[in-house]
């Protein structure tokens, strides 16, 4: 199923891409919820985290590594939160797995 993220991956629509490798992309969220709000997506289309299979374990780990690497690059490595929404009732609006990296403001606990 084609999503806005697959169109970004295929360069059919523009995005402010901060990082790209063979497996993933990182870009600024167009509706930021914090001063720094990045989306980290796999290039492989996985609709939700709960749809990931055992063969996706390395890819999921890679996405976490990318989050840490981009946080180090932006000097956020001590001050960020990662969020994954799984399903519409959890707030997922684009059904292509993505991690939200949020930083730049106080983040409350518990969230939501």
Q: Give the structural domain span for 48.
A: 4-103
Residue 40's nearest CA partner among 63, 10, 17 is: 63
Q: Does any domain span residue 112?
A: no
Q: Does any domain span residue 65?
A: yes
Q: Does any domain span residue 41?
A: yes
Q: How many domains does the chain have?
A: 1
Burial class (CB in 10 A: 0-12, 13-18, 19+), 93: exposed
Q: Tens digit of pLDDT for each residue in 60-97?
A: 999 999 999 999 999 997 899 999 999 999 999 999 99
pLDDT for the residue 111: 81
Give catalytic status of residue 96 as yes or no. no
pLDDT for the residue 1: 77
Q: Tens digit of pLDDT for each residue in 4-51?
A: 999 999 999 999 999 999 999 999 999 999 999 999 999 999 999 999
The torsion angles phi and psi of 102, rounded to 5 degrees, stand at: -115, 140
Q: Where are the alpha helices (DSSP H) in 39-99?
A: 57-73
> Which residue in 37, 96, 98, 100 is the catalytic one?
98
Residue 13: which CATH number?
A: 3.30.428.10
Name the strands in the sheet holding 24-28, side by side, starting at the edge strand that comes first in the sequence.
Answer: 17-20, 24-28, 36-42, 99-103, 81-83
What band does 112 get if pLDDT is binned at 50, 70 and 90? low
Q: Does any domain span residue 95?
A: yes
């Amino acid at each position: 199923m084609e999503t806005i993220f697959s169109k970004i991956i295929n360069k059919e629509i523009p995005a402010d891409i901060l990082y790209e490798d063979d497996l993933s992309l990182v870009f600024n969220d167009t509706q930021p919820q914090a001063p720094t709000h990045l989306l980290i997506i796999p290039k492989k289309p996985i609709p939700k985290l709960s749809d990931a299979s055992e063969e996706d374990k390395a890819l999921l780990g890679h996405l976490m590594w990318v989050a840490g690497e981009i946080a180090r690059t932006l000097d956020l490595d001590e001050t960020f939160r990662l969020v994954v929404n799984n399903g519409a009732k959890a707030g997922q609006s684009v059904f292509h797995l993505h991690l939200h990296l949020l930083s730049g403001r106080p983040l409350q606990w518990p969230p939501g």
